[in-house]
Amino acid sequence: MEPPSRTGFADEIDPAGLLAGASEHITMKRPVRILFGAVVIVVVILGVALARVPLFKSRQVTAPRVRDLPVNASRFAEVLSRAVRLNTISSEDPIPPHGSALLGLHALYRESFPLVHAKLRREVINGYSLLYTWQGANPSLPPVILMGHQDVVPIDDPGAWSEPPFGGRIVKGFVWGRGTLDDKIAVLGVLQGAETLLAKGYRPQRTIYFAFGHDEEISGEHGARAIARELKRRGVRAAFVLDEGGAITKDVVGGLKRPLAVVGIAEKGYVSLELSVKMEGGHSSMPPGETAVGAISAAVSRLEQHPFPAHVDGVSRQMLEYIGPEMSFAKRVALANLWLTGPVVARELASEPATNAGLRTTTAPTVISGGVKDNVLPKTASAIVNFRILPGDTISSVKDRVISTIDDRRVQVRVLPFGSEPSAVSDTNSPGFRAIQKTIAQVFPDALVAPSLVLGATDSRHFKNVSSQIYRFLPVTLTEKDLARIHGSDERIAVSDCPHVAQFYAQLIRNACSN
């Protein structure tokens, strides 16, 4: 069948000739057929794209709101305030300078949560970390592990705080201070949640462990890692682990009217590579064509010019599958058809550093050095480049790509210590993820839920031999401004938000451990 056209003479019309004012009658059947073919293809693609939209179903769940877990907001906020006043900044020193503050925290837990301390087994690991065991009625069920850390990061700029960082003041409806969000609220939330359940006479079927490290901010080596090793030695294999990592974000993701609870199902790896060049030194009055400083700068520049590829697959794709159906029609069409729109969506997401980091292994030159005097050519120059590794890449694949990108045999590349591989990706169809999602729906009914990739490292990475299902979520609501308070200044939590943290953990225990 010939293509229909308004004139009926489409095959004989030569648009190029008309435009050129040519009077000659030239037949150009082939280009028109190609044009027609292209139109058909576009129509088919659009049809398929639109047909996929109704199949792009919401993955949100609804469940009855929790109303039977009373937590006294001002009393709980007061406990948090006292915890903040105990300065537990992590330090690399072998004997923590804030050991007595950590012991002070332990005393605060004992005083504030008497039922927990009467009914649960409590063990101290390496002096300051804590492992609580809440024995389930059915020991054959795999246990659940709830995590939190008791240490905090130092204060960069005390002058930037509106309230003293270790004052624990309760002002204008907020508890202010270091650790209110990261992560003392999690430890206290777990303990308060358990206390509330115990007061109701609740008994879990499944055993629950609380694992509270004391050195998360400096690697978790003596805290979480030691606890995980002890659990592994005892043969514990957990159904799932929940640590900090994600949160409920408000006005952070464009195009979503509701708050978004992001549950980390994986976390990025970490490696720093040192690049170094050795060359002839000498006097700067007779420089060679290229110096050590020039060669190292060129190497760093090549790495920045050739970033790792961005992919909208893996965890980022799963996240879009949860968020997409909740967006406007145009965005739904785009996100339901990543087979078609993937490159455009990737380009859009890669244009912002925060979303870019979720799509690729990132390259961040952080240190560069070489030279000691303005008139001497240095014999060596070096740089350190920090990479946050996407699941799928490894420390060794990052190193290989760096060497081939630099493509300069004079540049030596060395892996610096304290790297970590990216985590495995946990399942969104597991009972653990489903219990977390249901609990969010019950305690934060406004929030949408989506799996996510955690960009930093958490203590949970030490638990990879104890469970294959590791999730990262702190049940607090954060605006974009609040995100900067974590490790920044004016860290705080609303007094009215405190009870929800405890209610979340209590309800999660009921959802995950009652059978």
Which sequence positions are flagged as catalytic?
A: 151, 216
Angle of helix 338-350 versus helix 329-336 axis, rounded to 10: 110
Contact 128, 103 (CB under 8 A): yes
Nearer to Zn ion, 183 or 326 (CB): 183
**Cα–Cα distance measured from residue 316 to residue 349, given in angstroms and rounded to the nearest whole number:** 10
Closest approach of Cβ 61 to Zn ion, in Å? 28
> Which of these ranges, 38-46, 182-190, 253-261, 324-332, lies near Zn ion under the rule CB under 5 A?
182-190
**Cα–Cα distance measured from residue 168 to residue 492, given in angstroms and rounded to the nearest whole number:** 9
Q: What are phi and psi of 85, to 5 degrees?
A: -65, -20
3-class secondary-structure state, position 416: coil
Closest approach of Cβ 212 to Zn ion, in Å? 12
Nearer to Zn ion, 244 or 326 (CB): 244
Nearer to Zn ion, 360 or 485 (CB): 485
182 is a contact residue toward Zn ion (CB under 5 A) = yes
Contact 403, 301 (CB under 8 A): no
User: How far from 379 is each of 324, 367, 368, CA to CA, in Å?
Assistant: 54, 18, 15
**Widest distance between CA atoms in the chain:** 100
Binding letters toward Zn ion, positions 210-249, x by CB under 5 A:
----------------------------------x-----
> Which of these ranges, 96-104, 116-124, 179-187, 377-385, lies near Zn ion under the rule CB under 5 A?
179-187
How far from the centroid of its chain's Cα atoms is residue 493's Cα?
Answer: 20
Closest approach of Cβ 176 to Zn ion, in Å? 18
**What is the size of the binding site for Zn ion (CB under 5 A)?**
3
282-283 and 260-267: which strand pairing? unpaired
Q: Report the residue from 151, 183, 393, 482 that binds Zn ion according to the rule CB under 5 A.
A: 183
| 403: β partners | none
Q: What are phi and psi of 379, to 5 degrees?
A: -80, -25
User: How far from 139 is each of 208, 211, 230, CA to CA, in Å?
Assistant: 11, 19, 18
Structure tokens belonging to residue 137 = 């009625």
H and E: helices and strands count for the chain: 16, 17
Binding letters toward Zn ion, positions 243-262, x by CB under 5 A:
-x------------------
Nearer to Zn ion, 431 or 488 (CB): 488
Closest approach of Cβ 153 to Zn ion, in Å? 8
Non-local (6+) Cβ contacts of 499 within 8 A are 71, 72, 73, 76
Closest approach of Cβ 186 to Zn ion, in Å? 8
Closest approach of Cβ 135 to Zn ion, in Å? 28
Closest approach of Cβ 145 to Zn ion, in Å? 16
* Tokens 């605006």, located at residue: 479
Closest approach of Cβ 365 to Zn ion, in Å? 26
> Which of these ranges, 42-50, 175-183, 257-265, 298-306, lies near Zn ion under the rule CB under 5 A?
175-183
Structure tokens belonging to residue 362 = 């990132």
Nearer to Zn ion, 148 or 370 (CB): 148
Angle of helix 329-336 versus helix 29-52 axis, rounded to 10: 110
Angle of helix 184-199 versus helix 99-112 axis, rounded to 10: 20
Helix, strand, coil tally for the chain in percent (to 5): 40, 20, 40
Nearer to Zn ion, 182 or 267 (CB): 182
Nearer to Zn ion, 223 or 325 (CB): 223
362-370 and 380-389: which strand pairing? antiparallel
Question: What is the number of residues in the chain?
Answer: 515
Nearer to Zn ion, 182 or 482 (CB): 182
Structure tokens belonging to residue 288 = 């060679």
Residue 24, exposed/middle/buried by CB under 10 A (0-12, 13-18, 19+)? exposed
> Which of these ranges, 22-30, 78-86, 176-184, 225-233, lies near Zn ion under the rule CB under 5 A?
176-184
Closest approach of Cβ 182 to Zn ion, in Å? 4
Nearer to Zn ion, 182 or 497 (CB): 182
Site for Zn ion in 276-335 (CB under 5 A): none
User: Which residues make up the interface to Zn ion (CB under 5 A)?
Assistant: 182-183, 244
